[in-house]
Structure 1
């Protein structure tokens, strides 16, 4: 692969700390399955918008049911799945506006306890949906809060301690779109020129079931790529410009998203929201849990293919192969109509949110990553690992002492990675950052405005096998005068 150009570096760095950003594992006894050649093309499935109502208090209420189902991914084979909101796999797209009060009710019709975490949301700890908010079979759990964060592409998925990889792998995840109270002139017609792309991968047993047994140390990687549950999808496009909201929902695989003819993409948003201005990039690397919003320009009748190509993990060659990052494969074919509706030009400014100031950081916290441990400790549901002041801005340093890349997600926080040569005004907003081997990643972290001295948030590797194996800790957010709990009581530990 040729050296990264300035544009390619910027695109990759948005997905992590530098160009070598991805989640993988070394020392694997065997590599992952190679991604299969494309099957017969199918129309891209678009997840429906989740129905919502208004209660007597004017709050937006969304009801989701997690339940088993079946879906035909491969011709003639019915695959047992789990899904939300009546979908056999995946979930409907939740959509709400900044400033709204939301009520999200989740009913569990699965045969075991689960949770539902609102990934990327700034919200009270009791509404977070982490391992401390279990939903038993037959139970219903309710999360409510006032949305107070900029427009962003968030998502939701299970988070039961020790079983997150399996629950997500069976199909439980969906998008959660936050619209700003002041709209930005970007393509916004859902499913028309504003299109969600949920990327994931699976392998199948001969009878059509998901293969949950053949994992290596990185986790479960598949030989079949699914986009919104569709194998070999295409999208009929009717406008000259289309906005793609791309989520990496894979348990372990990373993607480097490019166009087949190597023309650039226009990046407009990352995990935590819109960029200050559109940015032209050669490609975008997404490790598990990361999101990117890209805009593609099209001409009538000229098909384009969105692909994932081989990329650098900042690790030895065997690790890269074991993590599947040597694979190159098609993701989505874009099929423009012979005549296209003209799209308005992209705005010069997307977000006027001020960047975090390094000088405002009250303190620095340091986290050492190694062997599925953080600071030498495995996750303990009763232990308080950190106490953070409410609404604090701090520097968090993640140092990877392992031979394996990791990728760190902080609940209830928005981050900006401190990278040499990247001005503060150009730093993207993140909630998940990759930490390559033998690297230290420094991030400005701002936690939310919700204090709770008893219920914690999580910090963990978003390689789901690593999270399940204990690479997670928890922190309390407290207001002045509050005394934080010394242990977490009523903890629900489903590990193992």
Structure 2
């Protein structure tokens, strides 16, 4: 097998062991990547296992996570050094129900310090797992909290200041599913069968089989090989008429514009913070790094549609848009519907009560300017508290991207509603609870945030761009709840 080289010089052909084909692009000149119609979908999709748990004497559901180094065989030519939780790459899916007390014993068996951030979780700041909760090599950290938020697809990943992109690229990522305390809204619920997690990432392999871990574009690492749950060019056998896909954009820099090879309509039923009030039919769904969505796709017996990522407009100039992957066309996952499918009921017209956030008038309005890796002209300082908010209060934040690069904005320990972007109401599929909002160049989002009820004047939460290279370079701020 030839050496694995950069996407800007070579295009990865179909199959894990396929040859690489020269695309004719010269160094320094950006060209779009297209894998549409070129992949062989030779391997079954890996499904992250559900993490086992025990019940402690105080009623807490206890999970064990060990971060450790390993080795994974993505290509037959050479193994890839990887990091994972309870395994060689990625981590198990943690699952708990609203109202449960959760305790996670996190052991760091890596050679470097790490953290585990519970992205999207309403959690006390001391257990948030940000850059302030560092776990030294050989040490253990045991956060615990009571889950008090709606059913949602969340995730966990490292948040070491200046090292997050590298550690996530090596493989430290996992999903955390919160189940509600009520009925399942008529959605598919059998994990790995008709309720399927999709952790979507991209990677570039070096000639020795290792991951490239240094940034390749101003946005960050942009890979030429797509991984879905750690699988390259995978397929999923479908045995039911309807399948719920929990999509997580776990890439550190790539924006995905999801759709299908036959341009079929699919239904968005949930976003970052939970289930939407009503199903929303769409043909495309764009998610920036860190965002999640739950979709329901209906299938007919024997068909084999492909989940793809289509070109998107990031608001950047033509050359920058290409370098950021905005013109790429990517095949991701083939679905193989069985010759006979189990019947599935149609989705109800409404899923949950209208997403009333119980938001009274905002107590305050704040403004945030994103430009040149700064927020409001400041670079991240671990010792500086940038904002102080009232625990459990509601505020309106105006977040503006005045840079020439795309950004997004993630707030720890809180959920928000998008009021508008550039004065226009959000599309219905983004009208529910969110924790991350995408900001193309020159876009301004107004968001209304309900803050954590946990007061802690000494320990900050963070807000930052979730293009991870940008966060590593200092595009972050800190706030406390008092």
The TM-score normalised by the length of structure 2 is 0.91
Judging changes above 3 Å, is the alpha-carbon distance between structure 1 residues 369 and 423 closer, same or farther for their aligned structure 2 residues? closer
What do residues 245-283 of structure 1 show as CA deviations (whole Å, max 9, x unaligned)? Answer: 000000100100001111111000000111001110111
Matches within 5 A, 1:17-416: 31=30, 34=33, 37-85=38-86, 87-184=87-184, 185-213=186-214, 215-352=216-353, 354-356=355-357, 360-416=361-417
| Shift in Å, 1:421 | 4.2
Say which SS state the counterpart of residue 350 (structure 1) adopts. Answer: coil
Distance 1:343 1:89 in 2: 34
Residues 330, 350 of structure 1: alpha-carbon distance in 2 compared, 3 angstrom cutoff: same
Partner deviation per Cα, 1:63-111 (whole Å, 9 max, x = no partner):
00000011011123200000002x2111000000000000011100000
What is the SS of the residue equivalent to 1:355? coil
Task: Write the distance in 2 (CA, Å) between the matches of 1:146 and 1:50.
Answer: 18
Q: How far 1:33 moved relative to its partner?
A: 8.0
Task: Specify every segment of 5 or more residues in structure 2 that has no aligned partner in the other structure, as ranges.
Answer: 1-26
Deviation at residue 212 of structure 1 after TM alignment: 2.0
- What stretches of structure 1 move > 3 A for 4+ residues in a row? 28-37, 356-359, 421-426
* Aligned equivalent of 1:469: 473
Does 350-359 or 433-442 show the bigger shift?
350-359
Is the CA contact 2:242–2:297 (under 8 Å) kept in the aligned structure 1?
yes
Higher relative contact order (CA 8 A, sep 6+): 1
Cross-structure match for 1:11: none
* Distance of 1:309 and 1:278 partners within structure 2: 22
Conserved? CA contact 2:306–2:331, under 8 Å: yes
> How many angstroms apart in 1 are the aligned matches of 2:202 and 2:322?
16
Once residues 35 and 423 of structure 1 are traced to their aligned partners in structure 2, the CA distance between those partners, rounded to angstroms, is 28
Distance 1:357 1:202 in 2: 41
Do structure 1's residue 430 and structure 2's residue 434 form an aligned pair?
A: yes
CA contact (8 A) 1:164 1:464 kept: yes
- Report the alpha carbon displacement of residue 307 of structure 1 after superposing the two structures with TM: 0.6
**Shift in Å at residue 163 of structure 1?**
0.4
Distance across 2 between alignment mates of 1:65 and 1:178: 21
Task: Give the SS at the match of 2:142.
Answer: strand
Q: Could you tell me how far 1:51 is from its partner in structure 2?
A: 0.6
Counterpart-to-counterpart distance in 2, 1:32 and 1:215:
14
Conserved? CA contact 2:360–2:394, under 8 Å: no
8 Å contact kept, 1:32–1:324? no
What does the per-residue CA deviation read over 1:183-211, in whole Å, with 9 as the maximum and x for residues that have no partner? 22210000000000000000111110001
Number of aligned residues: 450
Instruction: Compute the displacement of 1:357 (Å).
Output: 6.6
Distance 1:476 1:468 in 2: 21
CA distance in 1, matches of 2:428, 2:231: 39
Instruction: Please tell me whether the aligned partners of residues 201 and 226 of structure 1 are also in contact (alpha carbons under 8 angstroms).
Output: yes
Partner secondary structure for residue 378 of structure 1: coil
The more displaced of 33-42 and 218-227 is 33-42
Shift of 1:423: 9.2
Matches of 1:358 and 1:424, distance apart in 2: 19
In structure 1, distance between residues paired with 2:449 and 2:331: 35
Alpha-carbon offset, residue 40 of structure 1: 4.9
Closer, same or farther: CA 306–464 of 1 in aligned 2, 3 Å: same
How far 1:30 moved relative to its partner? 5.7
1:442 aligns with 2:482: no
Using the alignment, how far apart are the partners of 1:403 and 1:214 within structure 2?
18
Distance 1:253 1:468, change over 3 A: same
Q: For 1:355 and 1:424, how far apart are their aligned partners in 2?
A: 14
Return the TM-score normalized by structure 1: 0.88
Q: 1:215–1:338: structure 2 CA closer, same or farther, 3 Å change rule?
A: same
Structure 1 gaps, min length 5: 1-27, 479-496
> How many angstroms apart in 1 are the aligned matches of 2:348 and 2:478?
40
Deviates more, 1:437-446 or 1:368-377: 437-446
1:10 maps to what in 2?
none
Q: Give the 3 Å change call, closer, same or farther, for CA 273–448 of structure 1 in structure 2.
A: same
Cα deviation, residue 162, structure 1: 0.6
Separation of aligned partners in 1, 2:471 and 2:153: 23
Q: Quick check: 1:35–1:225 contact (8 Å CA) kept in 2?
A: no
